[in-house]
C-alpha cells in the first residue's frame, strides 16, 4: 500500500515537472490569408520569421511582429511592386473577414449564454436578443460586402487601361449607377484619382522592368514611327532571353508623342533617351527598324559598327599540327576577303559619355546608337514591290495590273472624297472599305485582301454599288489577278 502511494506521488511529481517545462511553440501564422505571399518559418513569442514565396528559389527571410505588417509590406513594395496593390487588398479582405467572423462569434456566444441562463423557471433577461438576418442564418455575408473598395478601384483602373477608355467616363452618371447597382456600398473614383492611379501603376511597372533588365546581359530593341489623327508617335519594344529558362521575353518600352518634324536627329534623340531611361544603353546589341529614310539616316549618322559578341575563350594548350595551321591560315584569309568594313563616327567626332541617371544630357549632344537591322518583312515587301514595278515592263503583267488596280483605286477614291459615296458603300456592304495609307507600307495589300473578301462573299452587292458610283465593275480576270497578287505579296509580309 505504501509503495503504491509512493508511486502515485512520484507520478504526480513527474506530471507536475513536465507541465512546468517550457514547450516549444508551434509556428502558427497569424495571417493565413497571406500564405500566397509568405510562408512562416519560425516563431518566438510575438516575433515571426517568414520566407517570401515570390523570391523562390532564393530564400529571403523577413522578420515581422504579430502586431505589425510593416516589414512584409515594405518587402513587397520594394521587391515586387507589381504585386503591392493586390497584397494590400489581401490584407484588407483578411481584416474585414476577421471582423465579420469576430462579430458572428460574439453574437453566437451571447445568444448561447443567454439560452443557457434562460429557463422556464428563470426570470426573463433584460437584454434584447437581436434577430439574425438571412445572411447570418446561412452563415454567409451579404453579396459583395467582403469586397473592399481598393479591389473595386483596381478593377476600374484595369478596365480603362485595357480598353483605352477616356478618363471622363469614370465621372459619368451612368458609370456611377453601374457601380452602385453592382454593390450599393461601393463608389466610383474621380477622374483625377483615376489618372494618378494609372500613372502610379505605370511607374511601378517601369521600375519592375528596369530591375528585370538589370539582370540581363544583352537585349535587342525595335523602333517604329507612325502617324494617327494628325499626331506622330514613336513606339519601342525590347526583347531578351531569360537568364534561367532561356525563353524569349518581350516588353513595351515606350509609346510616346513626337512633335515637330520627324528628322533623323529627332528620332535618334528619342530612341537614345528611351535606352537611357531603362538603363540598357550599353546592353542593346541590335535595333530593328523599318526602311524609312529618316530611320536609316539616323543610324548611318550615329550608329555603331557591328561588333561580334564575345565568345567563349579559346584553349591555349591545344596542339596544332602543320596541316591544321595551314587550313586556319587559308580560312582566315578567305574570311578577310569577304569581311565588311565598318567606319564609326567615333573616329572623327568626340562622343561625350552621358550618365545613365541623367537622361537630359543626351538631348542636344552627339549620340551613339546601337547597330541597326532593317525589318525583314518590310524588306521583303520592298523586294516584291520592286519586282512588281519591274514586271510592269512586261505587257502580259502590265495590262491586267493596271486595269484591276485602276478600278480598285477609283472605288477607294470615291469613298474617301465623297460622303454620299461612303454612305452608299456602308449601306450596301455593311461596312466601310479598307483603303491604302501612304504611311503604312503594307496598306495596299490589306486593301486588296479586303476587296477580295467582299468580292468572294458579296460580289453582286459590290457591283451594284460600283454601278451607282459610275465605276467599272470587276470582271473575272480582275478578280483572279487580285487573288494572285495577294498570294504573292503575302509571302513577303
Tell me how far CA of residue 145 lies from CA of 187, 284, 406, in angstroms.
Answer: 13, 50, 65
What pLDDT score does 412 carry?
93
What pLDDT score does 132 carry?
57
**Residue carrying the nine cell digits 563616327:** 345
DSSP per residue over 12-58, as a string? HHHHHHHHHSPPPPP---S-GGGTTTEEEEEEETTEEEEEEGGGTTS
What pLDDT score does 160 carry?
95
Contacts with 312 (C-beta within 8 Å, 6 or more apart), sequence order: none
What pLDDT score does 232 carry?
86
Q: Which residue from 215, 221, 214 is spatially nearest to 369, judged by alpha carbons?
A: 221
What pLDDT score does 236 carry?
93
Tell me how far CA of residue 465 lies from CA of 149, 243, 428, in angstroms.
Answer: 54, 58, 7
> 299 and 379 in contact (C-beta within 8 Å)?
no
For the stretch 87-92, contacts whose Cβ atoms lie closer than 8 Å and that sit 24 or more positions apart, written own/partner, are 87/34, 87/37, 88/150, 89/148, 89/150, 89/151, 89/154, 90/33, 90/34, 90/36, 90/37, 91/31, 91/33, 91/34, 92/148, 92/150
Phi, psi angle pair for 450, to nearest 5°: -65, -40
Q: Which residues pair with 61 in a beta bridge?
A: 51
Instruction: Give the separation between CA 364 and CA 360, rounded to whole angstroms.
Output: 9
Instruction: Give the separation between CA 373 and CA 288, rounded to whole angstroms.
Output: 5
What pLDDT score does 340 carry?
36
Q: Which H helix or E strand runs over 489? A: helix 476-490
What pLDDT score does 441 carry?
64
The model scores a pTM over 0.75: no
Q: Which residue from 19, 176, 150, 159 is spatially nearest to 95, judged by alpha carbons?
A: 150
Handedness of CA 461, 463, 467, 468 (dihedral sign): positive
Instruction: Give the separation between CA 157 and CA 140, rounded to whole angstroms.
Output: 29
What pLDDT score does 390 carry?
73
Tell me how far CA of residue 305 lies from CA of 150, 164, 198, 340, 341, in angstroms.
Answer: 51, 40, 40, 10, 9
Phi, psi angle pair for 253, to nearest 5°: -90, -45
The cell numbers describing 36, all together, are 500566397
Ordered per-residue pLDDT tens for the chain, 493 residues: 445 454 444 444 444 444 444 444 456 777 887 888 888 888 887 888 888 888 888 888 888 888 888 888 888 888 888 888 888 877 877 665 444 444 445 555 544 444 444 444 444 555 556 665 554 454 444 444 568 888 899 999 999 999 999 999 999 999 999 999 988 888 999 999 999 999 999 999 999 999 999 999 999 999 988 887 788 888 999 999 988 888 999 999 999 888 877 787 888 888 889 999 999 988 988 888 877 777 777 777 776 665 544 444 444 444 444 454 444 444 444 434 333 333 333 333 333 344 444 444 444 445 777 877 777 777 776 776 676 777 777 778 888 888 999 999 999 999 999 999 999 999 999 999 999 876 666 788 889 999 999 999 999 999 999 999 999 999 999 999 999 888 887 766 5
Report the half-sphere exposure of 217 (CA within 13 A, side-chain side).
Answer: 5
What pLDDT score does 135 carry?
46
Amino acid at each position: 500500500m505504501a509503495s503504491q502511494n509512493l508511486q502515485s506521488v512520484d507520478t504526480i511529481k513527474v506530471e507536475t515537472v513536465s507541465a512546468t517545462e517550457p514547450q516549444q511553440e508551434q509556428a502558427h501564422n497569424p495571417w493565413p490569408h497571406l500564405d500566397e505571399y509568405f510562408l512562416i518559418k519560425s516563431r518566438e513569442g510575438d516575433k515571426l520569421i517568414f520566407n517570401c514565396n515570390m523570391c523562390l528559389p532564393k530564400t529571403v527571410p523577413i522578420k515581422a511582429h504579430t502586431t505589425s505588417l510593416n516589414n512584409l509590406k515594405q518587402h513587397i513594395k520594394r521587391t515586387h511592386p507589381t504585386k503591392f496593390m493586390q497584397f494590400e487588398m489581401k490584407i484588407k479582405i483578411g481584416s474585414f473577414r476577421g471582423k465579420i467572423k469576430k462579430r458572428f462569434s460574439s453574437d453566437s456566444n451571447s445568444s448561447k449564454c443567454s439560452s443557457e441562463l434562460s429557463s422556464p423557471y428563470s426570470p426573463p433577461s433584460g437584454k434584447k436578443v437581436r434577430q439574425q438576418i438571412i445572411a447570418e442564418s446561412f452563415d454567409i455575408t451579404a453579396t459583395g460586402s467582403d469586397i473592399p473598395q481598393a479591389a473595386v478601384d483596381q478593377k476600374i483602373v484595369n478596365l480603362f487601361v485595357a480598353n483605352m477608355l477616356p478618363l471622363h467616363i469614370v465621372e459619368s452618371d451612368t458609370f456611377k449607377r453601374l457601380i452602385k447597382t453592382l454593390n450599393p456600398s461601393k463608389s466610383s473614383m474621380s477622374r483625377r484619382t483615376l489618372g494618378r492611379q494609372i500613372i502610379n501603376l505605370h511607374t511601378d511597372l517601369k521600375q519592375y522592368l528596369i530591375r528585370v533588365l538589370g539582370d540581363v546581359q544583352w537585349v535587342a530593341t525595335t523602333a517604329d514611327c507612325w502617324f494617327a489623327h494628325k499626331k506622330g508617335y514613336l513606339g519601342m519594344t525590347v526583347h531578351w532571353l531569360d537568364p534561367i529558362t532561356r525563353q524569349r521575353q518581350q516588353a513595351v518600352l515606350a509609346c510616346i508623342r513626337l512633335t515637330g518634324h520627324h528628322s533623323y536627329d529627332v528620332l535618334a534623340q528619342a530612341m537614345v533617351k528611351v535606352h537611357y531611361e531603362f538603363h540598357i544603353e550599353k546592353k542593346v546589341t541590335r535595333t530593328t527598324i523599318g526602311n524609312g529614310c529618316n530611320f536609316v539616316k539616323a543610324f548611318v549618322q550615329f550608329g555603331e559598327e557591328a561588333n561580334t559578341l564575345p565568345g567563349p575563350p579559346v584553349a591555349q594548350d591545344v596542339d596544332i599540327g602543320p596541316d591544321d595551321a595551314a587550313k586556319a591560315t587559308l580560312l582566315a584569309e578567305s574570311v578577310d576577303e569577304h569581311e565588311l568594313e565598318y567606319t564609326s563616327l567615333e573616329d572623327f567626332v568626340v562622343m561625350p559619355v552621358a550618365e545613365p541617371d541623367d537622361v537630359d544630357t543626351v538631348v542636344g549632344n552627339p549620340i551613339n546608337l546601337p547597330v541597326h537591322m532593317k525589318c525583314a518583312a518590310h524588306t521583303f515587301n520592298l523586294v516584291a514591290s520592286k519586282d512588281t514595278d519591274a514586271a510592269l515592263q512586261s505587257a502580259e503583267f502590265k495590262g491586267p495590273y493596271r486595269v484591276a488596280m485602276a478600278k480598285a483605286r477609283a472605288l477607294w477614291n470615291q469613298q474617301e472624297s465623297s460622303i454620299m459615296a461612303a454612305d452608299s458603300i456602308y449601306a450596301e456592304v455593311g461596312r466601310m472599305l479598307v483603303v491604302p495609307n501612304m504611311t503604312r507600307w503594307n496598306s495596299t495589300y490589306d486593301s486588296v485582301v479586303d476587296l477580295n473578301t467582299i468580292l468572294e462573299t458579296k460580289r453582286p452587292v459590290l457591283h451594284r454599288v460600283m454601278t451607282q458610283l459610275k465605276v467599272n465593275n470587276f470582271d473575272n480576270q480582275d478578280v483572279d489577278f487580285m487573288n494572285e497578287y495577294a498570294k504573292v505579296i503575302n509571302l513577303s509580309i
